[in-house]
C-alpha cells in the first residue's frame, strides 16, 4: 500500500511514521519544513522564547534567592532568537532522520490533489511531479488569520509567524486578541521589556477556559503591567510616523510601535484540489471527517488543524495515528474524551476534562474542590506561589470529571488528572494516593481532598 501524506506538521509527520511502522510505503509532501506550524512557527519556538523570558524573570529575582549579581540584566534578542532557531533546527533534523530511518520519502514542494489517487507536486525548483497513491492523508494545517482591513505587513502589523522573528524588541506592542497565542506573546514581550496592551472583543482573556482560572490570569497580567482592554473592537489601523495607531469602537485611540494580530487561524484548505475531487467542507471551511478521520471520499483522510477541531498539536498527532491505522487497514476510532491542553503564560495554565459549565450542560450534579499553591511548601521554596488547582467531580459517583490548573508547571501536572479521568477514577483515588513531599503534585491531592472538605492545608471554614 502506498500512502501519500500532504503536509508534515505534527499531524502529517506522525501519520507518516505510524504508517511506515505498519509497513506502508509512505511519501510525504511538505511545502515549507517538516514539523509544520508546531515546530517551526508555533509550539516549540514560542516555548523556547518562554524559556528565555523565564530566565530573565528569574535573573531579576536572583536577589530574593540570595544570589548577588553585578551589572544589569538585559535581554539580548539576537541571542534569544539564535537559541530558539537552534532548538527548532535540532528538532527538524530529528524528524528528517526519523523519516530516513523508517524509509519515509520526503518530497519538498506544494501538493495538490488531482484525483482521489493522484497528487501533483510543484517542487521548489519549479519542476512538477505527479505521484500516485492508494490512500491520501491531508494534513495541511493552518496559518494566522488576518483582519482584512489591516492585513499583515510583516513589519508593523505582525502575525504570530512574524512575531517569532522580530529583529528588535519593540518599545510598545498592541496585541489584538487575548486568546491563548495572544496571552503567551503578551507574557513573552512583557518580560523582554515591551509595554503591552491587549485588545479583546470578548468580556475577558482566554474565554474558553474555566472562568476562575481566566480571572486569575487577568490578575497576573495586571501584575506584570500588561494592559487588557476587553469588550472592545478595533475599527481602524493606520501606520503613522510615530507608530501604529489603532482606533477602537467608541473613539479611543491607542498608539504603539507594533501591532500583533492573534485572532485565530485560517485553515489551509484552498488550492489543494479539494473542490476538484469533491471533498466535503463544513461552514468554516474545515474538512469534514468521520471518527476514522476519513473524508466523504473513500481512502482520503484529513487530520489536524485542517479539520477545524481543537487546533492542538497533540490532537493532530493522535488523529494522524488513527488515520494511519485506518489507511493501513486496521480499524481505529478517534477518542476525544480526554484531551489535556496547556497554555504557556506565566503562570502556566492547563486543563483536562469538563469545566463546571460543561458538567451542568450534561446535567451532571457536580461538586468542586480547590487548592491554592501558596499553601504548599514546595511552591514557597520555588518562589512561585500564585495559582491553584481546581477539581470538578461527579457528586453522586465521586468520579473525576475535570481538572483545571493555573500555577507553576501546570502543563506537567495535568497528566496525572488526564490518566485518572481516562481510567474513570474517583476523586477519592487521587486523595488516597500518597503524593511525594514536597512537590507541586500535592496540589492535586489536596484539591481532591477538598472536594470532600478534607484538605489538610486549608483553614477551617468560617
Q: Hey, which residues are catalytic here? A: 437
Choose the one of another protein, ligand FAD, none that binds residue 219, judging by a C-beta under 5 to 8 angstroms depending on kind.
another protein
The correct pick among 230, 358, 386, 433 for binding another protein (CB under 8 A) is: 386
49 or 393: whose CB is closer to ligand FAD? 49
Residues whose CB is less than 8 angstroms from the CB of residue 181 and which lie 6 or more positions away in sequence, other chains included: 46, 160, 262
Q: How far is the CB of 97 from ligand FAD (least distance, A)?
A: 18
| 346 binds another protein, rule: CB under 8 A | no
Q: How far apart are the first and last CA of the chain?
A: 68
374 or 435: whose CB is closer to another protein? 374
Residues 40, 289, 285, CA angle at the centre, nearest 5°?
65
Q: Per CB under 8 A, which region of 159-167, 219-227, 255-263, 440-448 contacts another protein?
A: 219-227
Helices (H) and strands (E) in the chain, counts: 14, 22
Q: Which of 268, 300, 299, 260 is nearest to 284 (CA)?
A: 268
Contact map string, positions 31 to 70, toward another protein, x by CB under 8 A: ----------------------------------------
- Per DSSP (E only), the strands in 56-200 are 105-115, 118-123, 128-132, 135-138, 142-144, 157-158, 172-176, 195-199
380 or 437: whose CB is closer to another protein? 380
The correct pick among 79, 223, 233, 437 for binding another protein (CB under 8 A) is: 223
181 or 213: whose CB is closer to ligand FAD? 181
Choose the one of ligand FAD, another protein, none that binds residue 38, judging by a C-beta under 5 to 8 angstroms depending on kind.
ligand FAD
The correct pick among 124, 222, 252, 437 for binding another protein (CB under 8 A) is: 222
DSSP class per residue in 20-66:
HHTT-EEEEEESS-TTHHHHHHSHHHHHHHHHHHHHHHHHHTGGGGT
Choose the one of another protein, ligand FAD, none that binds residue 385, judging by a C-beta under 5 to 8 angstroms depending on kind.
another protein
Please report, as ranges, the residues that interact with ligand FAD according to CB under 6 A. Answer: 6-12, 29-32, 36-38, 41-43, 46, 110-111, 139-142, 160, 181, 268, 272, 304-306, 311-314, 316, 344
237 or 406: whose CB is closer to another protein? 406
**Distance between CA 247 and CA 254 in Å, rounded?**
7
Q: Which of 370, 379, 376, 377 is nearest to 347 (CA)?
A: 379
173 or 306: whose CB is closer to ligand FAD? 306
108 or 212: whose CB is closer to ligand FAD? 108
Q: How far is the CB of 137 from ligand FAD (least distance, A)?
A: 10
Q: How far is the CB of 420 from another protein (least distance, A)?
A: 27
Q: How far is the CB of 379 from another protein (least distance, A)?
A: 10
Q: How far is the CB of 353 from ligand FAD (least distance, A)?
A: 17
**Distance between CA 318 and CA 340 in Å, rounded?**
12
**Distance between CA 278 and CA 274 in Å, rounded?**
6
Q: How far is the CB of 66 from another protein (least distance, A)?
A: 17
| 385 binds another protein, rule: CB under 8 A | yes
Q: How far is the CB of 380 from another protein (least distance, A)?
A: 7
Q: Per CB under 8 A, which region of 46-54, 193-201, 379-387, 404-412 contacts another protein?
A: 379-387
Q: Which of 105, 109, 118 is nearest to 24 (CA)?
A: 105
Choose the one of ligand FAD, another protein, none that binds residue 32, judging by a C-beta under 5 to 8 angstroms depending on kind.
ligand FAD
Total residues at interface with another protein (CB under 8 A): 9
Three-class SS of residue 451? helix
Per-residue DSSP letter, 268 = -
The correct pick among 61, 93, 100, 380 for binding another protein (CB under 8 A) is: 380
**Distance between CA 265 and CA 209 in Å, rounded?**
18
Choose the one of another protein, ligand FAD, none that binds residue 372, judging by a C-beta under 5 to 8 angstroms depending on kind.
another protein
Choose the one of ligand FAD, another protein, none that binds residue 334, judging by a C-beta under 5 to 8 angstroms depending on kind.
none
| 86 binds another protein, rule: CB under 8 A | no
Contact by Cβ (8 Å): 15, 289 = no
Exposed, middle or buried: residue 398 (CB in 10 Å: 0-12, 13-18, 19+)? middle
Residues whose CB is less than 8 angstroms from the CB of residue 326 and which lie 6 or more positions away in sequence, other chains included: 292, 293, 294, 301, 332
The neighbour count for residue 32, using CB atoms within 10 Å, is: 15
**Distance between CA 453 and CA 370 in Å, rounded?**
10
Which residues contact another protein (rule: CB under 8 A)? 219, 222-223, 372, 374-375, 380, 385-386
Amino acid at each position: 500500500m502506498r500512502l501519500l501524506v500532504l503536509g508534515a506538521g505534527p499531524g502529517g509527520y506522525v501519520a507518516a511514521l505510524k504508517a511506515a511502522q505498519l509497513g506502508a510505503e509512505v511519501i510525504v509532501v511538505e511545502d515549507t519544513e517538516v514539523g509544520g506550524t508546531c515546530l517551526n512557527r508555533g509550539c516549540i519556538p514560542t516555548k523556547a522564547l518562554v524559556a528565555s523570558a523565564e530566565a530573565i524573570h528569574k535573573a531579576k529575582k536572583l536577589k530574593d534567592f540570595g544570589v548577588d549579581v553585578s551589572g544589569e540584566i538585559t535581554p539580548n534578542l539576537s541571542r534569544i532568537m539564535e537559541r530558539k532557531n537552534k532548538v527548532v533546527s535540532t528538532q527538524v533534523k530529528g524528524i528528517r532522520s526519523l523519516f530516513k530511518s523508517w524509509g519515509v520519502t520526503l518530497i519538498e514542494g506544494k501538493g495538490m490533489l488531482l484525483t482521489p489517487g493522484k497528487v501533483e507536486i510543484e517542487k521548489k525548483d519549479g519542476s512538477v511531479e505527479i505521484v500516485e497513491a492508494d490512500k491520501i492523508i491531508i494534513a495541511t494545517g493552518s496559518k494566522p488569520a488576518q483582519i482584512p482591513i489591516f492585513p499583515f505587513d510583516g513589519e508593523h502589523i505582525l502575525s504570530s509567524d512574524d512575531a517569532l522573528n522580530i529583529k528588535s524588541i519593540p518599545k510598545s506592542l498592541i496585541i489584538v486578541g487575548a486568546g491563548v497565542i495572544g496571552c503567551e506573546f503578551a507574557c513573552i514581550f512583557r518580560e523582554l521589556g515591551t509595554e503591552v496592551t491587549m485588545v479583546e472583543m470578548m468580556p475577558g482573556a482566554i474565554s474558553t477556559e474555566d472562568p476562575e482560572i481566566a480571572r486569575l490570569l487577568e490578575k497576573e497580567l495586571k501584575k506584570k503591567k500588561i494592559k487588557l482592554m476587553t469588550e472592545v473592537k478595533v475599527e481602524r489601523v493606520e501606520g503613522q510616523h510615530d507608530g501604529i495607531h489603532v482606533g477602537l469602537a467608541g473613539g479611543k485611540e491607542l498608539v504603539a510601535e507594533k501591532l500583533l494580530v492573534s485572532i485565530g487561524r485560517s485553515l489551509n484548505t484552498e488550492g489543494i484540489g479539494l473542490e476538484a475531487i469533491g471533498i466535503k467542507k463544513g461552514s468554516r471551511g474545515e474538512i469534514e471527517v468521520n471518527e476514522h478521520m476519513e473524508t466523504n471520499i473513500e481512502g482520503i483522510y484529513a487530520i489536524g488543524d485542517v479539520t477545524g477541531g481543537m487546533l492542538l498539536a497533540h490532537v493532530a498527532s493522535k488523529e494522524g495515528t488513527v488515520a494511519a491505522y485506518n489507511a493501513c487497514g486496521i480499524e481505529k476510532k478517534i477518542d476525544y474524551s480526554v484531551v489535556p491542553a496547556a497554555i504557556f503564560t506565566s503562570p502556566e495554565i492547563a486543563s483536562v476534562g469538563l469545566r463546571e459549565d460543561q458538567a451542568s450542560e450534561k446535567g451532571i450534579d457536580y461538586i468542586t474542590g480547590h487548592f491554592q499553591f501558596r499553601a504548599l511548601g514546595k511552591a514557597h521554596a520555588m518562589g512561585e506561589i500564585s495559582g491553584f488547582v481546581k477539581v470538578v467531580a461527579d457528586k453522586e459517583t465521586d468520579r473525576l470529571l475535570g481538572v483545571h490548573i493555573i500555577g507553576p508547571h501546570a502543563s506537567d501536572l495535568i497528566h496525572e488528572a488526564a490518566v485518572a479521568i481516562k481510567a474513570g477514577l474517583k476523586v477519592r483515588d487521587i486523595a488516597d494516593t500518597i503524593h511525594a513531599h514536597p512537590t507541586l503534585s500535592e496540589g492535586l491531592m489536596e484539591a481532591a481532598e477538598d472536594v470532600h472538605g478534607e484538605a489538610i492545608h486549608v483553614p477551617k471554614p468560617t
